[in-house]
Structure 1
Amino acid sequence: MTSVRTGAAPVSADPAHVRRTASSGLKITALATGFVMATLDVTVVNVAGATIQRDLDTTLTQLTWIVDGYVLTFASMLMLAGGLAGRIGAKTVYLWGMGVFFLASLACALAPSADVLIAARLAQSAGAALFMPSSLSLLVLSFPDKRRRTRMLGLWSAIVATSSGLGPTVGGVVVSAFGWESIFLLNLPIGAIGMLMTHRYIAAADSRTTKLAVPGHLVWIVALAAVSFALIEGPQLGWTAGPVLAACAAMTVAAVLLTVRERRATHPVMPWRLFRTPGFSGANLVGFLLFNFALFGSTFMLGLNFQHARGAAAFQAGLELLPMTVFFPVANIVYSRLSARFSNGALLTLFLLIAGVASLTMVTISSSTPYWVLALAVGIANIGAGIISPGMTAALVDAAGPDNANVAGSVLNADRQIGSLVGIAAMGAVLHASSDWNHGAAVSFLAVGTAYLLAALGAWQLIARFERPTTRSTAL
């Protein structure tokens, strides 16, 4: 007896649709691998911090440099990397960055001392700076349709967030089983797969005869290095110590030189004209205060708090962080559906408020605070952050336009990494100055909650108020 099927065939049965979906998945995976490695290293190192301190006999200041030195080089080179991508092609620079990161990760795993590890981390972050802006640029060029690009941004963010969310747990497992060196060896298979898939599935982007503002970039690097030195060494040496005051003076001189140079330059380091667009400025404000001041600053603090204040081993600390981060990638995927119904400005404002209020509930943290209360508060904040991440990126891309994708990605990532640099250094300073670990955590949560609320105000004033009403489809 022959069965009869009625109705139209499902869309997923269409061979062309299946091929298009498979192609999109391969492209997204290839472009996410770089981001996965970069974010994985930040979160995993947070959990491995106590083990690195013990095995390499490092101070808290050296540990902060292991984390923040990475961010420093990353942030200072991002604008230069964006210029290189425009000049010689985003795909080429992306593959260069992946190769440098691959080799530097191996050097990190073999480092015999804290100083060598810090140097290898600087090289690692130089590679990350090369591929990060190119990743966003290639994604925009690969998906020119705005609706499809928005969905891909949600999926792209979810892949990255999954690695970030699982990073502490994976880090705790591998550190406990194989030592801290293994967290850097994780990058080797990921990097190899990413380079092969990018070479095979990502089309080369056109290069342009863009002149690189090398002098401006050098001054930019000096300014960021001076800020980092002052923030990291200040708590250890004292804020009035000669080296710290010298760093502050260098930062001031570099800032003045950069300002004068940018006002006169034909090819400025920063695309100031884009900041005239409220949505572009708003997305960068959210990027600084959320990613990474609040998010990575709090993760750095919690990784140490669990191990020092609560006596957890690296493996246990990783497991305890999992409930706080596991919903982050799920929220990235949920964003794709919410973005079909609500504007980016409305979503950013609402979920930044939720993250801020959740974080501020922990300003009374003490040794008697139950773990589940802490996990619930941070988990809710991270759910909000999971919606905010792709929403912020989509708002930036919409404001900048596809033609400015390279430079927009560079600016956003530089802004985010400066936020991370300041956030981690600030948390390190708070912990160094606090009477105990719980007092340091309370002050940190106050700073994080305030940052989220300030970002919510910025999102409302600069993004939501200027968005044009549009008819949004509910279909994905």
Structure 2
Amino acid sequence: MLLFTLAIGFVMAMIDVTAVNTALSDISSDLGVPLEGLVWVVDGYTLTFAALLLAGGALADRCGARRIYQAGLAVFVLGSVLCALAPTGTALVAARLLQGSGAALFMPSSLALLTHAEDDDRRRAKMFGAWAAIVSAAATAGPLAGGLLVEAFGWRSIFWLNLPVGLLGILLAQLKAPAPAPHARPLDLASHALGATALAALAFVLIEGPVLGWTSAPVVVALAMAALLPAWLIRRERAAAQPILPRALYGIAPFRAAVLTGMLINFGTFGHMFVLSLWLQGAHGTGALGTGLAILPMTAAAGVSNVLSGRAVARQGTRMPLLVGMGGAAAAALLLAQVTAGTPPWLAIAGGTLLFLAIGFAIPAMTATVMGAGGKTHASAAGATLNASRQIGALLGVAAAGTILHATQDWGLRLAIVYTAIAAACFVAWLAVYRRMEPADAPAPAAGVTE
């Protein structure tokens, strides 16, 4: 029951993310949302999720993990209700921003509550494994569930489903979840605000640049902010007594390589799902249910390769699975770059399944590398950094895909550019792992980071 309680948030979030992709065509038709609006519908959620994730972890420490978990569920449910009632595309995007804020609160809190629920390391490991299995099952079932809901009840039903599930999660958390005492942790609101604003500015440039014009005043101002604010943030962090990311992690090369890999993995997977969904619905007239069924084997393949990767990591360490996974993903993306408007959908689905199979093989090794570098002392910070980088990758992947779709109406050229970019991202990740990780087991923590 505790596992079910603490997985509810993630299950809602995973189903929501994958189901929305199956409903893009219906949302566009019903609300008159253009392409850049659809990008905001997907990326609005990811933007606030990525920008507030580290702050959510700090709030869980300061205010109590259970309280913040319940608050996050409440915000997510409110955002879902507003999504379901949205009369316009603008209102829908605003509600998606609110959903992402809620997810940023409950995600780190759920992991903290699981950690406090069990003192025995072996039992805790089993709990984490079962929790991950529940989340993976939700990710696999999400596209199909979304397609069925949209076909039967319309796209708004995706969001209405979150209302009873979220309220049940709040109640069960009060009854079943532990309530660890809060403890003092610095919360640098200025640094978090700088990071969030820089990320929002970059998203605005990528999404609105093709629509407003790359030389329009709003786009130029946003581009300047996206360039200058990160430099200001880095300067603040270097001078801070207690930066957002502990200094002990800065110098660990495998940690940096794995975090970069996480961002590039999500750049590829979310960009792929966004483009493939629109290709199926736009070039082939596939409905929401058909789109969900098309995505289903991809997410299932990732789940299978997750298990295989765990065994490979236990035998050979993290470097080999990362190299095999990212190399295979680059090759699969190059195959998908050959898809055109007339390609049979099953061929594109097969290529997407290969892409997810390869990426799924890399993800457990990537996670093990990050958490091994953090050790027990900096486990929360390491995990939050990895999750934030992955959400940034998802944001940029969808935004970049939208920019490419705006540039041309030729599906063959669109897909060639998008999947070449995904292949390049996977190769950059492969190169980072090859250069920064030694051919050995998961890296030992650097000095000052205890196991």
Normalising by the residue count of structure 1, what TM-score does the alignment of the two structures yield?
A: 0.87
Alpha carbons of 1:356 and 1:71: their partners in 2 closer, same or farther (altered >3 Å)?
A: same
- Establish whether residue 287 from structure 1 lines up as the match of residue 262 from structure 2: yes
Alpha carbons of 1:465 and 1:138: their partners in 2 closer, same or farther (altered >3 Å)?
A: farther
Corresponding residue number in structure 2 for 1:23: none
Alignment of 1:200-279 (within 5 A): 200-279=175-254
- Establish whether residue 91 from structure 1 lines up as the match of residue 59 from structure 2: no
Alignment of 1:71-470 (within 5 A): 71-142=46-117, 153-290=128-265, 292-465=266-439, 467=441
- Establish whether residue 67 from structure 1 lines up as the match of residue 54 from structure 2: no
Could you tell which deviates more after superposition, 45-54 or 142-151? 142-151
Shift of 1:56: 0.5
Alpha carbons of 1:218 and 1:414: their partners in 2 closer, same or farther (altered >3 Å)?
A: same
Distance 2:378 2:6 in 1: 18
Contact 1:39 1:164 in 2 (8 A): yes
Among 30, 34, 38, which residue is 1:55 paired with? 30
Corresponding residue number in structure 2 for 1:17: none
Shift of 1:280: 2.2
Pair member with larger Rg: 1
Corresponding residue number in structure 1 for 2:448: none
Corresponding residue number in structure 2 for 1:9: none
Shift of 1:436: 1.6
Instruction: After superposition, give the CA deviation of every residue in 1:370-395 in whole Å (9 maximum; x if it has no partner).
Output: 33322222112212222333332222
Unaligned stretches of 5+ in structure 2?
A: 445-451
Contact 1:134 1:406 in 2 (8 A): no
One-letter amino acid matched to 2:111? L
* Aligned sequence identity (%): 42
Shift of 1:245: 0.3
Distance 2:439 2:294 in 1: 39
Instruction: After superposition, give the CA deviation of every residue in 1:184-236 in whole Å (9 maximum; x if it has no partner).
Output: 12222332343344444433334321121011111112111111111110111
Normalising by the residue count of structure 2, what TM-score does the alignment of the two structures yield?
A: 0.91
Instruction: After superposition, give the CA deviation of every residue in 1:148-179 in whole Å (9 maximum; x if it has no partner).
Output: 66665554333323222322222111111111
Contact 2:320 2:439 in 1 (8 A): no
One-letter amino acid matched to 2:198? A
Alpha carbons of 1:299 and 1:198: their partners in 2 closer, same or farther (altered >3 Å)?
A: same
Shift of 1:426: 0.3
Contact 2:369 2:443 in 1 (8 A): no
Secondary structure at 2:227 match in 1: helix
Shift of 1:299: 0.4
Contact 2:45 2:99 in 1 (8 A): yes
Distance 2:180 2:438 in 1: 32
Instruction: After superposition, give the CA deviation of every residue in 1:285-319 in whole Å (9 maximum; x if it has no partner).
Output: 111000x2011111011111100011212222222
Alpha carbons of 1:204 and 1:396: their partners in 2 closer, same or farther (altered >3 Å)?
A: farther
Alpha carbons of 1:158 and 1:332: their partners in 2 closer, same or farther (altered >3 Å)?
A: farther
Alpha carbons of 1:397 and 1:27: their partners in 2 closer, same or farther (altered >3 Å)?
A: farther
Contact 1:141 1:402 in 2 (8 A): no
Unaligned stretches of 5+ in structure 1?
A: 1-25, 471-476
Shift of 1:144: 6.5
Alpha carbons of 1:468 and 1:302: their partners in 2 closer, same or farther (altered >3 Å)?
A: closer
Could you tell which deviates more after superposition, 63-72 or 181-190? 181-190
Alpha carbons of 1:336 and 1:30: their partners in 2 closer, same or farther (altered >3 Å)?
A: farther
Secondary structure at 1:361 match in 2: helix
Shift of 1:142: 4.7
Distance 2:309 2:321 in 1: 9
Alpha carbons of 1:37 and 1:463: their partners in 2 closer, same or farther (altered >3 Å)?
A: farther
Distance 1:418 1:144 in 2: 33
Could you tell which deviates more after superposition, 192-201 or 78-87? 192-201
One-letter amino acid matched to 1:181? R
**CA-based RMSD:** 2.3
Alpha carbons of 1:153 and 1:342: their partners in 2 closer, same or farther (altered >3 Å)?
A: farther
Instruction: After superposition, give the CA deviation of every residue in 1:246-303 in whole Å (9 maximum; x if it has no partner).
Output: 101122332232122112112323334313223321221111000x201111101111
Shift of 1:147: 6.6
Distance 1:212 1:460 in 2: 35
Alpha carbons of 1:58 and 1:49: their partners in 2 closer, same or farther (altered >3 Å)?
A: same
